[in-house]
Amino acid sequence: MSAFVDSAQLHAKAGDGGAGCVSFRREAHVAKGGPDGGDGGRGGDVWLVADPNQASLLGFRDHPFRRGSDGAHGTSKRQHGARGQDLDVAVPVGTVVHDRDGTVLVDLAGPGDRWRAAEGGLGGAGNARFLSNRRRAPAFAEQGERGQECWLNLELKLRADVALIGFPNVGKSTLIARVSAARPKIADYPFTTLVPNLGVVRVGRRTSRPEDATEFVMADIPGLIEGAAHGRGLGHDFLRHVEYATVLCVLLDRSPNASIPPNEQLEVLLGELGEYRADLLGRPRVVVGSKSDVALGEFNVPDALPISAVTGDGVSALVERLAELVSLSRLDAAREATHEVVVHAPVADDVRVVSDGPHAWEVLGRTATRAVRFQDLTDDEALAEIVKRLRAIGVDRLLARAGVLDGDVVRVGPLTFEWWRDAVGAGLDRGDHHRATRRERLARHGRLDDDDDS
């Protein structure tokens, strides 16, 4: 029997973009045919899709890696590379995605909700893209962008109609085994249940009208203890499964072995629910006195239903009451239903400048990295294109505001250059190693300037 897994990690790696092609038209009787290199294909994205047919995160426990396919490289004759295929990763409805710092990124709360976990890299532009009146024979092309890669934490909140809540060893597993086909582990000691169990309960099977039957999902939530709302024991791991339940069934232990009286059990349990999420106390609930077959003394909890999951006494009345509350909750939800399939995409990274040590700086952000993804960073024409792109996204202003000084080293992706503001030394590098022409200076007077003819 497969284990239930409600938390797992996912490593999403989108496909890399294909490289652009450097090619020139070569045909008989066609002199100087010009550039004809095609573009590379875009890499495939990795999407998480909420699938109602998935009930657990078991598939990620031993195999957390998911990969999008790479884009194909461009070729001659302006032939573009094929786009990489997107990868749809099915997760259960109710999956919450966190980054490694614990920040919630998305809640896939409804069937069909989609979220792009990793975006495929852009394909590189071939040299035919850089043809202009001033640049008749571009001998450079873009490198394909690497696809996004990240580790994510997945957490599943069960979509049960009824949540069974109670102290350890109160009889929840016995009850769910009695009313459904679920077969949880049952033993006479606390914390037998370490993971939630789900059971499907059907009421009205023998009626002459099948449409009168009510079917609902019951969740056996592992036993709560005092302090669970503050994380004591596995409190948070257990309590999160109660969030989506529409009806709460609170079981109170009436046996002589109960640690505290039933009325005090109820007080503690409701207190823990209220501290975890106050709105849980406003949901429909049924209070049940469990183990009535071995109970001693009076049961003085108002409106509580005494049952024995072992003998079956009172179980039918309980199930009918739960089915009634579930039906009413579903009618209310149907009246207020406004959920539509939502497609979530990551927010684009902002370009920013950070210190990378003494007199060293780094420009971060996917837009800046994309601006310098050329195959040959020593090509003067490629450097001129880089200058134009960085100036267009405002990198010159960001460097000036960050306090970059003359001679400081600035890194943008694979490109490293020295920053100079004086008119004589402005450029990518003061030496002859990576010097651009004077029209292609990276910085002058605190800004990128490729229009200076002085």
CATH number of the domain residue 297 falls in: 3.40.50.300
Domain boundary among 156, 186, 202: 156
> Residue 348's pLDDT is what?
67
> Residue 421's pLDDT is what?
63
CATH number of the domain residue 55 falls in: 2.70.210.12
My answer on whether 104 and 126 are in the same domain is yes
Quick one: pLDDT band at residue 379, thresholds 50, 70, 90?
confident
My answer on whether 144 and 206 are in the same domain is no
My answer on whether 304 and 383 are in the same domain is no
**Residue 347 placed within a domain:** no
> Residue 223's pLDDT is what?
57
Which contacts qualify for 169-174: CB closer than 8 Å, 24 or more apart? Answer: 169/223, 169/253, 170/223, 170/251, 170/252, 170/253, 170/290, 170/291, 171/251, 171/253, 171/290, 171/291, 171/309, 172/220, 172/221, 172/223, 172/251, 173/197, 173/220, 174/309, 174/310
Domain boundary among 103, 133, 156: 156
My answer on whether 331 and 360 are in the same domain is no
Residue 437, pLDDT > 60, answer no
**Residue 448 placed within a domain:** no
> Residue 186's pLDDT is what?
46
**Residue 161 placed within a domain:** no
Query: Between residues 223 and 315, which one has the greater pLDDT?
Result: 315
**Residue 257 placed within a domain:** yes
**Residue 401 placed within a domain:** yes
My answer on whether 376 and 430 are in the same domain is yes
> Residue 309's pLDDT is what?
86
Phi, psi torsion values for 115, nearest 5 degrees: -140, 130
> Residue 394's pLDDT is what?
87
Count of domains forming the chain: 3
pTM for this entry: 0.64
CB atoms within 10 A of CB 453: 5
My answer on whether 181 and 307 are in the same domain is yes
My answer on whether 172 and 149 are in the same domain is no
Of 56-65, 218-227, 308-317, 445-454, least confident by mean pLDDT is 445-454
Q: What's the domain range around 66?
A: 1-156
Backbone region of residue 313 per phi and psi (left: phi > 0; alpha: psi in -120 to 50; beta: other values): beta
My answer on whether 82 and 110 are in the same domain is yes
CA distance 58 to 16: 28
My answer on whether 214 and 183 are in the same domain is yes
Average pLDDT of the chain, as a whole number: 79
**Residue 135 placed within a domain:** yes
**Residue 345 placed within a domain:** no
Residue 190, pLDDT > 60, answer no
pLDDT exceeding 70 applies to what percent of the chain? 79
Quick one: pLDDT band at residue 205, thresholds 50, 70, 90?
low
pLDDT (tens digit, 9 = 90+) per residue, 95-152?
999 988 888 888 888 888 899 999 999 999 999 999 988 888 898 999 999 999 999 9
CATH number of the domain residue 404 falls in: 3.30.300.350
Domain boundary among 336, 362, 388: 336
My answer on whether 175 and 323 are in the same domain is yes
pLDDT (tens digit, 9 = 90+) per residue, 249-269?
998 988 888 878 888 888 888
**Residue 29 placed within a domain:** yes
My answer on whether 305 and 402 are in the same domain is no
My answer on whether 213 and 297 are in the same domain is yes
